[in-house]
Amino acid sequence: MPPPRLPYSEFSSFSRLFSTYAAEFSPLASFFSGDFKDPRQRGQVARQVADYYKNRESLVAALLDQAEFYNADQKTLDNIESLADPETVCVVTGQQLGLLGGPLYTLLKTITAIQLAERLARDTGRKVVPVFWLEGEDHDLAEVASVTVFRGNEPTSITYSAADAAQEKNPQPVGRLTFDDSISATIDELSDVLMPTEFSHEVLELVRASYRPGETFLTAFAKLMARLFAGTGIVFVSGDDARLKKMARPVFRKEIKEFEKSAKLLLASSMKLDETYHVQVKSRPTSIFLMTKQGR
């Protein structure tokens, strides 16, 4: 007998916007290019994406280089190589580089991307690669420097604070911040808090192997995730790469030239959304910024 299923609307922690998106797509159709639940529309989007993207060889070269810093396994390397095929598409998820792997939903999003890639491959007959975008260009250290775990039945926060001074003096993408020797003490704190189970030792070994002095928030997070999802073929992508930025030059160029148009469209969409739901992110005149050695 299958377990009972409850709609998201019965949980107060989920917004009305999300509950509607998950349960009945039609009220929100004007905000999206297609219904994610409709197999035919998923197939149409896959065709559009495959026809649109032209920089495949350059992308593969960059991703193969990146694969070295997180020690990608053979299935992931094969998936990267498959992106050279003009018929291959991706299912993409991503998250900020949360300390010690971050919140639970990071893992849930990753699992979902892997499963959706498998489903889309069956539905379309295409090669579909699961991809995780490593959001390391965020500057808000406070959002990623802590993780909450349970000490018995009580939530307990564990924080790595050694990078605070460096970030305050010279704000830079958190993915570039390097862990010092105190990361070992942070992991020891995790060890003291975790409830002993048959998995505790293995989990801590994975964490210690990934979060070492000298690693960055980016490399440590990617190595841990690659170890946790070994054998699934998921590809990890760091946007903090000049080669990827070069591929995106047409996007940057258009945004710089037409930022007023983009801002008006975002504002109009937000106002329409706010009539029935809520505005998730307040729009700004431009979302582009320049990073130098002195910071953002």
Q: Is residue 211 part of a domain?
A: yes
Does residue 252 share a domain with residue 212? no
pLDDT in tens, 4-18: 888 888 888 889 999
Buried b (16+ CB within 10 A) or exposed e, 51-90: eeeeeeeebbebbeebbebbebbeebeebbebbeeeebbb
Q: Give the range of the structural domain holding residue 28, as residue numbers without chain letter.
A: 7-32
For the chain, state the CA radius of gyration.
21
Mean pLDDT value across residues 210-234: 97
Residue 238 in contact with residue 66, Cβ under 8 Å?
yes
Q: Is there a contact between 187 and 215 (Cβ–Cβ < 8 Å)? A: no
Per-residue pLDDT at 170: 61
| Angstrom distance (rounded) from CA 159 to CA 146 | 4
What share of the chain has pLDDT > 70, as a percent? 97
Q: Are 114 and 201 in contact (CB under 8 A)?
A: no
pLDDT at 294: 73
Count CB atoms within 10 A of the CB of residue 182: 13
Q: What is the pLDDT of residue 166?
A: 62
Q: How far apart are CA 162 and CA 176, in angstroms?
A: 14
Average pLDDT over every residue of 253-278: 90
Tens digit of each residue's pLDDT (9 = 90 or more) over 145-184:
999 999 988 999 999 988 766 666 667 889 999 999 999 9
Q: Is residue 279 over pLDDT 70?
A: yes
Six token digits for residue 65? 């280089």
Between CA 137 and CA 140 the distance in angstroms is 9
CA distances from 14 to 9, 19, 119, 138 (A): 7, 7, 26, 25
Q: Is 290 domain-assigned? A: yes
Angle (deg, nearest 10), helices 217-228 and 200-210:
140
Rounded average pLDDT over 95-101: 96
Averaged confidence pLDDT in the chain: 91
Does residue 65 lie within any of the structural domains? no
- Confirm if 289 and 171 have CB atoms less than 8 A apart: no
Residue 164 lies in a domain: yes
- Residue 67: inside a domain, yes or no? no
Number of compact structural domains in the chain: 3
How crowded is the C-beta side of 94, counted as CA atoms within 13 Å? Answer: 16
pLDDT in tens, 108-156: 999 999 999 999 999 999 999 999 999 999 888 888 999 999 998 899 9
- Whether residue 125 is contained in a domain is answered as no
Task: Calculate what percentage of the chain has a pLDDT beyond 90.
Answer: 60
Instruction: Specify whether the CB–CB gap between 47 and 59 falls below 8 A.
Output: no
Within a domain: residue 196? yes
In this prediction, residue 282 carries a pLDDT of 79
What's the average model confidence in pLDDT over 72-86? Answer: 97
Note the pLDDT of residue 152.
86
Q: Is the pLDDT of residue 36 over 90?
A: no
- Using the predicted structure, report yes or no on whether residue 62 has a pLDDT greater than 70: yes
Give pLDDT tens digits for 40-50.
Answer: 888 888 888 88
Q: Is residue 50 situated within a structural domain?
A: no
pLDDT at residue number 142: 87
Which pLDDT tens digit goes with each residue over 181-207?
A: 999 999 999 999 988 899 999 999 999
Would you say the pTM of this structure is higher than 0.75?
yes
Q: What single DSSP character describes residue 199?
A: T
